[in-house]
């Protein structure tokens, strides 16, 4: 089964501020189309629950005019910021479902930080199911989805067929977790999206995060195709082995790349097609 290429609107955001756009949706979408992507992953910096549904539909029609779909939507800022307000969306999921429908998208990213969020994830999933929409949580440090086994446990406790996981190997690595074939097989029944970022963990790295499991971790962000980082060829092989046919989303594009986002987007598409089986 062939996979599909998606690029995250994170690429169109300010490097250090997820609430600021560095380019327009139109400019970003044009680059994605020219580079051979099938979809964009929407973020609130471009279109979110704060955007009127009329404008959302206009953006959707523009994307459709280019032949692009919306692979997933992240409806507000606290969710990707992974802060204490991230889970609030679960307590009032209706505006996020309205956003997804207006974007012609059936997958929403959510955030969970505490066990108390599980019952709200169940209720939100039930409401989403009535509209044939799925909810998924990214593998992410400092969340209930920091560890692979813990992620599966939470999914099973939520216990809804339209609730699953966004596999993201870089975050798993930051937390000291295996991100290879065994983890991918563990996630297979619940896998709804794949996010790709690349990094080299080293003392003195230019980026620092605090994780629940591994404590302070220092690393350098590097382009997807930098083979010193995450082993993406093995990941593509593993995804093919389990028959994954969904979206693979580039969540990082311009780190250390001359020529900025356009050059990075083009090279990301070229590289991923060279190591994975993607639709034309």
More confident residue, 22 or 82: 82
| Mean pLDDT rounded to a whole number for the chain | 94
pTM of the model: 0.95
Q: Is the pLDDT of residue 255 over 60?
A: no
Question: DSSP characters for the chain?
Answer: --BEEEEEGGGGEETTEEEEESS-HHHHHHHHHHHT-SEEEEETTTS-TTS-HHHHHHHHHHHHHTT-EEEEEE-SSHHHHT-TTTTHHHHS-HHHHHHHHHTT--EEEE---STTHHHHHHHHHHHHHTTT-EEEEE--TTSTTSSHHHHHHHHHHH--TTEEEEE-HHHHHHTT---SHHHHHHHGGGEEEEEE--EEE-TT-SEEEEETTTEEEEEEE--TT-TTS--HHHHHHHHHHTT--SEEEE----TT-TTHHHHHHHHHHHHHHHHS-B--
19 pLDDT tier (thresholds 50, 70, 90): confident
Q: What is the pLDDT of residue 260?
A: 73
């Amino acid at each position: 089964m062939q996979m599909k290429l998606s690029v995250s609107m994170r690429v169109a955001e300010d490097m250090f501020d997820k609430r600021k756009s560095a380019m327009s949706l139109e400019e970003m979408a044009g680059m994605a189309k020219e580079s051979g992507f099938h979809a964009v992953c929407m973020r609130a910096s471009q279109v979110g629950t704060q955007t009127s549904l009329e404008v959302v539909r206009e953006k959707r029609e523009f994307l459709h005019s280019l032949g692009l779909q919306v692979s997933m939507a992240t409806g507000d800022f606290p969710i990707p910021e992974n802060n204490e307000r991230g889970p609030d969306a679960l307590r009032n999921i209706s505006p996020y479902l309205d956003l997804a429908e207006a974007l012609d998208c059936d997958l929403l990213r959510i955030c969970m930080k505490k066990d108390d969020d599980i019952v709200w994830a169940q209720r939100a999933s039930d409401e989403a199911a009535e509209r044939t929409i799925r909810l998924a949580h990214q593998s992410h440090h400092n969340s209930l989805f920091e560890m692979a086994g813990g992620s599966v446990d939470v999914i099973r406790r939520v216990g809804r067929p339209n609730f699953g996981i966004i596999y993201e190997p870089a975050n798993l690595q930051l937390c000291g977790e295996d991100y290879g074939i065994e983890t991918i097989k563990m996630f297979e029944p619940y896998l709804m999206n794949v996010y790709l970022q690349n990094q080299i963990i080293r003392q003195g790295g230019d980026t620092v995060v605090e994780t629940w499991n591994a404590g302070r971790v220092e690393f350098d962000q590097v382009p997807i195709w930098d083979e010193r980082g995450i082993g993406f060829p093995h990941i593509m092989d593993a995804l093919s082995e389990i028959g994954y046919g969904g979206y693979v989303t580039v969540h990082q594009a311009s780190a250390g790349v001359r020529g900025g986002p356009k050059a990075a987007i083009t090279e990301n598409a070229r590289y991923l097609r060279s190591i994975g089986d993607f639709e034309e």
